[in-house]
């Protein structure tokens, strides 16, 4: 479908001027867009679905996260398209159209914060706000070749944001420039720049890089060479993360099905971890929206419809075990990373899939993606997706994770590494 100059990114265009006229504000002169999951006073929060919009009235106040960046000097220029009810990482919407991926127009933009990522990738705004429950900032950031930050769980207020699953919901943001990413972060986190910018160790999860179909010389090695140049090779460590998680998170045994143990294409402990995330996500989604779905029976797109109704039918078994896994994984990764350690993994297992790919053919890709995405999701740790240029004309990304509450530190690391990563990508070639 042909789209206009806005790449199909927006559901509503309007201007909300900054609430501060001071020129020294960190976001002075910058423009941004917000995902249509955030309340903006006077506008219906559409949640990606016309039936939702039709059955809800306009917001009477604006979400604190939006107010924070307006207060930081930025101007809001509109609301962006999202996947229905935030229940997809693809970025396709049968009602409002699929925002065009500026990096690869024949590929999905990633979701569910699709329009927010596209608006930044297409240079329509300087930054944007999205949400990330299962991967909805990290995935579109990687697919659109931009920076995407999922903060520590509960680090940014989520009031005035429609909940998806509160155990995992976060308010995230996108930018093309690491300095802007950092400024937006400090504004939202309400924290000053703290801690040393230098990591004590950067751990390369070897088994996770093997999940990616991108050759390692264009992924893990680009990061390693950049780290060596900036910080020195002595801080680089290598490990098999799947084994560590299996040994340190005993409650995962409740989610380790025979099918998972026999999957050749995945890492069993992390496949079980993604089962935890999706089980608890379904349970909480039903608690939030089950009554509305049952009453309204909204028209939902393929893939999303099945997931939503599966959630409505969920019984909530193993929920206590889900919470045990969360506690154990958080503790295990806190021991591993300590205060200033970084874990490096691929953001997703490969390039963005083609538009309108049959959901069944994407099952293995989705399974591997959620093995990667569930690490930060279940632990509550912060994660940033960093673009590493293009491989075979498609965007590539790597992710860095730091312990819960170390968001300002992780933003500093991105600023320190970003220029060298770009140079290394150019040396390595397309």
Q: Which helix (H) or strand (E) covers residue 139, if one does?
A: helix 138-143
Helices then strands (H, E): number in the chain? 14, 11
Q: What gap in Å lies between CA 247 and CA 40, rounded to an integer?
A: 46
End-to-end CA separation in angstroms for the chain: 29
**Cis bond before residue 112 (omega within 30° of 0):** yes
| DSSP structure class, residue 360 | G
What are the start-end ranges of the H helices in 362-406? 363-379
| DSSP structure class, residue 27 | T
| Catalytic residue IDs | 35, 112, 136
The phi and psi torsions of 183 (rounded to 5 degrees) equal -65, -45
Asked whether the beta carbons of 396 and 375 are under 8 A apart, the reply is: no
Per the listing, tokens 């240079």 go with: 123
Q: What is the largest CA-CA distance in the chain?
A: 60
What are the start-end ranges of the H helices in 237-318? 241-248, 258-261, 268-296, 304-312
Asked whether the beta carbons of 55 and 293 are under 8 A apart, the reply is: no
How many Cα atoms occupy the beta-carbon half-sphere of 232 within 13 Å?
Answer: 6
DSSP-derived secondary structure for 44-99:
---TT-HHHHHTSPPPSS--HHHHHHHHTT-EEEEEE---GGG--SS---TTT-PP
């Amino acid at each position: 479908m042909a789209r206009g100059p806005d790449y199909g990114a927006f559901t509503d265009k309007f201007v909300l001027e900054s609430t501060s006229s001071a020129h020294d504000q960190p976001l002075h002169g910058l423009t941004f867009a917000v995902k249509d999951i955030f309340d903006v006073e006077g506008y219906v929060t559409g949640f990606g679905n016309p039936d939702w919009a039709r059955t809800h009235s306009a917001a009477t106040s604006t979400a604190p996260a939006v107010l924070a960046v307006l207060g930081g000097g930025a101007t809001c220029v509109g609301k962006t398209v999202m996947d229905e009810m935030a229940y997809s990482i693809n970025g396709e919407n049968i009602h409002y159209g699929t925002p065009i991926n500026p990096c690869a127009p024949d590929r999905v933009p990633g979701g569910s914060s699709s329009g927010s990522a596209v608006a930044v990738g297409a240079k329509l705004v300087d930054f944007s706000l999205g949400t990330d429950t299962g991967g909805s900032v990290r995935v579109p950031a990687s697919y659109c070749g931009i920076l995407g930050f999922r903060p520590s769980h509960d680090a940014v207020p989520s009031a005035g944001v429609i909940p998806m699953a509160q155990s995992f919901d976060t308010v995230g943001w996108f930018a093309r420039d690491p300095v802007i990413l950092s400024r937006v972060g400090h504004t939202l986190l309400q924290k000053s720049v703290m801690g040393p910018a230098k990591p004590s160790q950067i751990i390369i999860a070897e088994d996770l890089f093997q999940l990616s179909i991108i050759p390692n010389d264009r992924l893990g090695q680009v990061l390693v060479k950049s780290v060596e140049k900036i910080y020195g090779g002595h801080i680089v460590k290598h490990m098999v993360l799947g084994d560590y998680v299996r040994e340190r998170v005993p409650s995962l045994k409740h989610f380790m099905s025979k099918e998972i143990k026999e999957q050749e294409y995945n890492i069993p402990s992390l496949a079980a971890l993604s089962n935890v995330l999706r089980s608890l996500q379904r349970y909480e989604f039903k608690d939030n929206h089950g009554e509305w779905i049952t009453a309204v029976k909204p028209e939902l797109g393929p893939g999303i419809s099945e997931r939503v109704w599966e959630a409505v039918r969920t019984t909530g078994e193993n929920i206590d075990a889900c919470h045990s896994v969360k506690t154990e994984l958080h503790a295990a990764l806190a021991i591993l990373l300590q205060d200033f350690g970084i874990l490096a993994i691929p953001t997703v297992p490969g390039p963005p899939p083609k538009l309108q790919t049959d959901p069944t053919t994407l099952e293995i890709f989705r399974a591997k993606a959620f093995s990667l995405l569930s690490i930060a999701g279940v632990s509550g740790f912060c994660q940033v997706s960093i673009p590493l240029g293009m491989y075979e004309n498609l965007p590539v990304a790597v992710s860095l994770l730091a312990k819960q509450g170390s968001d300002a530190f992780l933003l500093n690391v991105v600023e320190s590494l970003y220029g060298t990563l770009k140079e290394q990508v150019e040396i390595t070639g397309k």
